[in-house]
């Protein structure tokens, strides 16, 4: 295996892990705030961070940014938002 390929894998894993944890944290925080207008804003920030993570991984691996994989960026916000919406 080439060194550059391993470096891309490691960098991709780091970017995806850090950004996904941050996006999920922002989505969870949106369910705990008391301000009415804060929830959509925090969910929106969570989506943007997820988009940046997926785009960053694609760029690190020198692939096209526009791909169906970008839909995974909305996963943390969609899951946590739906849980809080269903619970009341």
Closest CA to 39 of 80, 73, 71: 80
Q: Give the pLDDT band (50/70/90) at residue 69.
A: confident
Q: Is residue 54 classed exposed, middle or buried when 0-12, 13-18 and 19+ CB atoms within 10 A define those classes?
A: buried
Sign of the Cα torsion 76, 40, 14, 66 reads: positive
Q: What mean pLDDT is predicted for residues 69-77?
A: 86
The pTM is what? Answer: 0.83
CB 26 within 8 A of CB 42: yes
Q: What is the distance between the terminal CA atoms of the chain, rounded to a whole angstrom?
A: 51
């Amino acid at each position: 295996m080439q060194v550059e390929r391993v470096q891309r894998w490691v960098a991709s894993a780091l970017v995806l892990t850090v950004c996904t944890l941050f996006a999920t944290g922002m989505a969870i925080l949106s369910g705990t705030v008391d301000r009415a207008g804060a929830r959509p804003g925090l969910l929106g920030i969570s989506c943007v961070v997820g988009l940046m993570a997926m785009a960053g991984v694609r760029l690190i691996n020198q692939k096209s940014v526009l791909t169906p994989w970008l839909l995974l960026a909305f996963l943390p916000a969609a899951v946590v938002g739906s849980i809080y919406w269903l619970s009341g």
